[in-house]
Every structure is written in C-alpha cells, then in structure tokens.
Amino acid sequence: MAMSGEIELGVIGGSGLYALPGLANVSRQAVATPWGEPSGEVVLGDFAGKRVAFLARHGEHHSVPPHRVNYRANLWALHQLGVRAVVGVNAVGGIRADLGPRTLVVPDQLIDYTHGRATSYCDAEGAEVRHIDFSEPYTQALRERLLAAARVAGLAIVDGGCYGATQGPRLETRAEIARLRRDGCDLVGMTGMPEAALARELDLAYACLALVANFAAGCGDDAVISIEEIFAHLAAATAQVPVVLDAMLRA
C-alpha cells in the first residue's frame, strides 16, 4: 500500500543499523540544511502502516565517526521533512552489571562528556538564545511507547538508566568507565549527545533505544574488549529494532 502524508516517526540508526528492514515503497531525499550536510539521504517509506523517515547516523557505509556526525544537520533535515518524533538507536557499552551484551535499554537520563561538538542551534550571529529545560532529556511519552511495544512484542527491555556520552571513536579506559560509574552512568555510548539536546531545541519528541554491544571497559570478565564480539552482539540486538518499532507503530 503506497502512502503519503504525515510522517509518524523519524528513526536515526546507529552502528549496525544502516537501513530499516521492512521499510517499503522507499524514496530518498537529500535535504540541504543551514547547518551543512546530513550524514546521508533521508529514506522515506511505509513501515507498519505508517510513514517513517530513516537516517543512518554514521552514513550508510559507516563513514562518519561519532565526533564528526553533523547532528545539527541530521535533526534539522528530519524536522524539515515534517518529522515531530524521533527514536535514536544507539550502540552502547553496559556499565551496570545487569546490562550485558544484547540488552535493550530505554535510558531516562544522560551525562555529556563529549567536547568540541556543535551542540546547539543557538549559534548564528544575532540568533535568539534559547535555554531549553533538559531536566528530563528524553520524552517520557515516547519512552513509554517504546517500552510498551517491546513488551507487546515479547522482548525484554530495561526501563531507565543513565547514558554517559563519550567522545569516541576509541573505547574508554577502565579508569574512565570507573569514573562514569561513580558519576551514576549505567551505559556508555558515543552518539547520544548532542543529538538529544538538539532534538529538544527543535521541540521534537525524542527517545533513545540503546543496544548493549559489550560490557564497558573493566565491567565484564574480559581484560580487553573484542571489537568482533561487539559487532556480533550488535547484529543480534539490532535485529530486534524493527520488531520494537513495528509494535510501537501498530499500537
């Protein structure tokens, strides 16, 4: 069934998710923004009976590292196409003992350890300065839709957790992760910020679907982290993303 009209959801795919399986009748849209080039074309299509816009955060061939993603252009492009709610899918390392590889988590807090990224749209000469409330960095209603959808689909999912956003692209040292743990972080990833804050600046509903790919440095039994294992776990966790989104959009 071909559909057009309002876009129900924007999905930003992270590492391992470069296209949305099940997206049908696709068209591709290159969107120019005042903030430069998005990571790639936005892929518009029908998914679970709704219009969905998909964007690969790192580009479709994973050519854009976390610290070089043009987060402003990505969200601007989705907003410009009429998207009003975005799910960001992010690969993460688990810090908390119960957040092992392949766990799905919908975090409710974050701490930003990134640096040197363009973090705001309040950046143009003479532009209005907006101080957004960011006490709750994610949109609760969208979080709840994700959580409910996973349960309907029969998938285990963890409600809440603090996402520590690091600079990447390297993984962290054990000492860095120990610090994040002391700070209260449950998860660590490289792309959660400034995406969440920029979404808020654009008044987009935004939630993170975090996929645990590995135990963060010093948190698992292994002395070092195997990148091959990360991608194997990530592939398994990523396969659940369309299942959750399908249940969410059909609810």
Binding site for ligand HPA (CB under 6 A): 91-93, 166, 171-172, 188-190, 213-214, 216, 230
Report angle CA 203, 209, 212 to the nearest 5 degrees: 145
CB of 91 to ligand HPA, least distance (A): 4
Q: How far is the CB of 222 from ligand HPA (least distance, A)?
A: 12
Q: Which residues contact 156 (CB under 8 A, 6 or more apart)?
A: 103, 104, 150
Indicate the residue among 46 and 176 with the shorter CB distance to ligand HPA.
176
Question: Based on CB atoms, which residue is closest to ligand HPA, 4 or 173?
Answer: 173
3 state SS of 190 = coil
User: Is 74 or 214 the residue whose CB approaches ligand HPA more closely?
Assistant: 214
Choice between 91 and 209, CB closer to ligand HPA:
91
The residue among 119 and 214 lying less far from ligand HPA, judged by its C-beta, is 214
- Closest contact distance (angstroms) between CB of 232 and ligand HPA is 12
Give least dist CB 212 to ligand HPA, A: 8
Q: How far is the CB of 164 from ligand HPA (least distance, A)?
A: 8
One-letter amino acid at 2 equals A
Nearest approach, Cβ of residue 180 and ligand HPA (Å): 9
Instruction: Kindly tell me which of 70 and 114 has the beta carbon lying closer to ligand HPA.
Output: 114
Euclidean distance between CA atoms 90 and 208, whole angstroms: 7
Amino acid at site 121: Y
Pick the closer one to ligand HPA by CB: 53 or 216: 216
DSSP 66: G
Smallest CA-to-CA distance from 207 within 107, 69, 57 is with 107
Give the residue closest to ligand HPA by C-beta. Answer: 93
DSSP string for residues in 97-143: TT--TT-EEE--EEEE---SS---STTSTTPPP-----SS-S-HHHH
Question: In angstroms, what is the minimal distance from the CB of 87 to ligand HPA?
Answer: 17
Contacts of 13 (CB under 8 A, 6+ apart): 19, 20, 54, 55, 56, 57, 89, 241
For the chain, how big is the Rg over CA atoms in Å?
17
